[in-house]
Structure 1
Amino acid sequence: MPFEFSPQKLVYGGEALGYAQGRTVLVPRVLPGERVEVEPVRIAKGVVHARPLRILEAAPERITPPCRYFGQCGGCHYQHLDVERQVCWKADIVRETLQRIGKIAWDREIRIHQANPWNYRNQAQLKVMTAESGDTALGFFAAESHQLVPIEECLILSPRLNSILGQLRQPRWLGRLRGCTEVELLANDQDDRVRITLHGNPEADAPERLADDLLQQLDGVASVVILEGRGTRLYGESVFTYRVGEFKYRLSPGAFFQSSRYLLPELVKSVTDAEPGDFALDLYAGAGLFTLPLGRCFERVIGVESHPAAAGDLQANAESHGFKNIRAVRQTTSDFLRRFAQKDPDLVVLDPPRCGVGNSALKYLIDLQPRRVHYVACHPPTWARDLACLLAGGYRLEEVEMFDCFPHTYHIECLARLVRPDLASR
């Protein structure tokens, strides 16, 4: 049965939280202070998840979403709220997460980094679905479902990616994508070269012809990768690169790379900003986004990455820039820390996936006694959990920064700078 609801605050995950009928309620696309008619969708762990039916009384800060797909496509969560208000709420969420999960009362400044809130994504994962009628559509999934929302344009994708999307939506291409499950697009830093990765089995009888046609007929396509099962076939340019500042990074298919084009240089500068020293560790190093700049500041740097393609990129990127002081290690962070014996690194950079570092790996890290730790994360809850472990291990939280890399979504990039006071002066 529908009921009236007045949310109190925005929470991590893109929903508004409040209370009704003696229960905690979460509802997307509504704002604190509004009166809303909502309908329950499910109840999980005592929390009612509901969908909005009608706005009975709108908040003063509510705006008309610029995107015609907002509320259907699951990609954006906050387009009904001005960007400056989005950032304020995100900072509150970071502070609240530190307190609730990490038991860290951070009452000092959270330095906020912002950039252009539109056309900022250099990557897209477009879903492909073919109906029983044989018609094929391209778009994004709706929130919390596998229902496809076909789209003509995405306001947060770069201009080049939108151009490719528009061309792929033409019937002559959609028919040839039948058999694919996903079309992944990656644009370079200049937004003039794109790698297309096709997941699945497009044109099973002639994938080479499809790849050649994409390379020849779509503006800006540098390479095409077809992933089917465990096999990878590459057509076009064999090396795809992305420049950030003075460094050019080779990026292989399947290797992770940051998808926010505008704030990347600022993120790299903040994470790697440190006094020159003897030795630094870059854990979860990926293709070396932070490792290479660290190589300019430290006598010796070790970058640790477990993903085979990314570890290969890390090694190649260090070599192509002439670094003799950077060593790439293909290993999980936990295994590396368990076996690594050298004490007292000057700096350790952490950039883990959403699951965070975890207590066992952090115990090994604390035993190494690094003087400073810079921890950047895309998932505030596990970041706060891990920071609590580091603080219990003798570290002090000195600075917190927030990068609004993904405006209009609930996603937040956080940076914590920590120091161990008893070691910092060594």
Structure 2
Amino acid sequence: MFVPWTAPGDRVRVRVVDSKKRWARALPEEILHPSPDRVAPPCAHFGVCGGCRLQHVSVEEQLRWKGRFVHDALKRIGNLEPEGDIRVDPAPHGLQYRGRMTFTVAHRGGRVRAGLREAGRPGRVAEVEFCHIADPKIQETWSSLRQSLRKPGLLRAGTVVRVTLRAVQEGIVVLFSPRCPGRDGEYFAGLPHVVQVWEGGSKGSRLLWGRDEVHENWFGRAVAVPGPSFTQVNALAGQGLLDAVVEAAGDVKGRKVVDAYAGLSLTGRELALKGASVTAIELDPAATAALAEAGGVRVLEGRVEARLPEALPADLVILNPPRSGLHEHVVHHLL
């Protein structure tokens, strides 16, 4: 049974809201006896905002809890039996770490609401001016942009806009989706730290204002990144993950490596520098264009399940699939 806002060791009275054959979901109605691992969440929006879910649990217990999540998923879904407990290393910073945030601005019911999606009610927007996990530059930009987007007449009634802020070396990149309100860009130059403004969505994005190129730091080097492209939202933890993959790959000199669901192929580029022959497979045209311009790896644009046979056989295949998981054809090609 899944019960949000609770902690291991809590005794609670709950109300079941969804029941299936193998699982159920409930909402807590009363905490009868709190867990000793409960702490006061630092954010005043906790429980209303749909973002953070574990701020009420001590960091130590969060790490143990997340290890159990992975262990349970491997056993229940993957039919695997991990040996021993799964260790989860803490991120270098518990707050102000997130280098990418997506806010929502909606003009409904005669007023403009700006913040993050509400917990359990994603169709509603929780007013959030300050987010504890956002990079300080993102927070400063959001505070200013939030006020700008409330100007009378800027948003028509019924309009909903997603605003993604991304921290890069030069400052902050802004992506409006699906469209930028007030396209004359009159307020762009006055926003703190902003170096690029984009608009777009699933069918592509276009640069409206700002620098031609921005960069992020990976493996100690400046990497040019298309503004809307995806990289890890926690750069320090993300770098730790990439380091672990490179270390696990071992000596790759002269070996053939496939980086599937590559994104900007940060791992693939590093392995190429170590002597590997790397093929990166990625669906996003902006990412593949950046990869092709950077050089050093062979680039196949398209879905992994369709393009993987062209890259095989290989000595090493790195997989970083989306949340939906591996397509069955990918598994078939590899096995």
CA distance in 1, matches of 2:231, 2:134: 16
1:67 aligns with 2:40: no
C-alpha distance 194-91 of structure 1, shift in aligned 2 (>3 A) = same
Aligned residue number for residue 12 of structure 1: none
Aligned residue number for residue 50 of structure 1: 26
What is the letter of the counterpart of residue 79 of structure 1? Q
1:245 aligns with 2:219: yes
1:328 aligns with 2:299: yes
1:280–1:298 Cα contact (<8 Å) kept: no
Structure-2-length-normalised TM-score: 0.89
Q: What is the DSSP-based 3-state SS (H/G/I as helix, E as strand, rest coil) of the residue aligned with 2:130? A: coil
1:60-99 CA distance string (max 9 Å, x none) = 1111111101100010111110011100111122122212
2:102–2:162 Cα contact (<8 Å) kept: yes
Aligned residue number for residue 265 of structure 1: 239
1:167 aligns with 2:147: no
C-alpha distance 275-327 of structure 1, shift in aligned 2 (>3 A) = same
1:196–1:221 Cα contact (<8 Å) kept: yes
Moved more, 307-316 or 246-255: 246-255
CA distance in 2, matches of 1:116, 1:230: 33
What is the letter of the counterpart of residue 356 of structure 1? G
Q: Quote the offset at 1:47 in angstroms.
A: 4.6
1:310 aligns with 2:295: no
What is the letter of the counterpart of residue 337 of structure 1? L
Q: Quote the offset at 1:258 in angstroms.
A: 1.2
C-alpha distance 35-109 of structure 1, shift in aligned 2 (>3 A) = closer
1:183 aligns with 2:163: yes
How many residues align? The count is 325
CA distance in 1, matches of 2:124, 2:259: 39
C-alpha distance 297-108 of structure 1, shift in aligned 2 (>3 A) = farther
**Aligned with 1:107 (options 73, 78, 83):** 83
2:213–2:224 Cα contact (<8 Å) kept: yes
**Aligned with 1:98 (options 74, 78, 85):** 74
Q: What is the DSSP-based 3-state SS (H/G/I as helix, E as strand, rest coil) of the residue aligned with 1:104? A: coil
1:343-389 CA distance string (max 9 Å, x none) = 3x2221111111222332122123xxxxxxxxxxxxxxxxxxxxxxx
C-alpha distance 346-202 of structure 1, shift in aligned 2 (>3 A) = closer
Aligned residue number for residue 422 of structure 1: none
What is the letter of the counterpart of residue 346 of structure 1? D
2:162–2:178 Cα contact (<8 Å) kept: yes
1:40 aligns with 2:16: yes
**Aligned with 1:225 (options 171, 190, 198):** 198
Q: What is the DSSP-based 3-state SS (H/G/I as helix, E as strand, rest coil) of the residue aligned with 2:14? A: strand
1:258-300 CA distance string (max 9 Å, x none) = 1112212211111122213322111111112211111122341
1:277 aligns with 2:250: no
2:38–2:56 Cα contact (<8 Å) kept: yes
CA distance in 2, matches of 1:40, 1:365: 42
Aligned residue number for residue 106 of structure 2: 129
1:19-70 CA distance string (max 9 Å, x none) = xxxxxxx311112332222233344557543222221111111111111011
Q: What is the DSSP-based 3-state SS (H/G/I as helix, E as strand, rest coil) of the residue aligned with 1:235? A: strand
* C-alpha RMSD over aligned residues: 2.2
2:215–2:225 Cα contact (<8 Å) kept: yes
Matches within 5 A, 1:120-159: 120-133=97-110, 135-145=111-121, 146-159=123-136
CA distance in 2, matches of 1:312, 1:365: 27
CA distance in 1, matches of 2:333, 2:268: 21
What is the letter of the counterpart of residue 310 of structure 1? A
Q: What is the DSSP-based 3-state SS (H/G/I as helix, E as strand, rest coil) of the residue aligned with 1:90? A: helix
Aligned residue number for residue 338 of structure 1: 309
C-alpha distance 49-357 of structure 1, shift in aligned 2 (>3 A) = closer
Moved more, 147-156 or 237-246: 237-246
CA distance in 1, matches of 2:278, 2:218: 19
Aligned residue number for residue 358 of structure 1: 327
Q: What is the DSSP-based 3-state SS (H/G/I as helix, E as strand, rest coil) of the residue aligned with 2:293? A: helix
Percent of aligned pairs with the same residue?
A: 27
Q: Gapped runs of 5+ residues in structure 2?
A: none
2:71–2:82 Cα contact (<8 Å) kept: yes
2:173–2:197 Cα contact (<8 Å) kept: yes
Q: What is the DSSP-based 3-state SS (H/G/I as helix, E as strand, rest coil) of the residue aligned with 1:290? A: helix
C-alpha distance 280-28 of structure 1, shift in aligned 2 (>3 A) = same
Aligned residue number for residue 196 of structure 1: 174
Q: Gapped runs of 5+ residues in structure 1?
A: 1-16, 18-25, 367-426
2:9–2:36 Cα contact (<8 Å) kept: no
1:294 aligns with 2:283: no
Q: Quote the offset at 1:337 in angstroms.
A: 2.2
What is the letter of the counterpart of residue 307 of structure 2? F
C-alpha distance 348-124 of structure 1, shift in aligned 2 (>3 A) = same
C-alpha distance 259-336 of structure 1, shift in aligned 2 (>3 A) = same
CA distance in 2, matches of 1:364, 1:71: 44
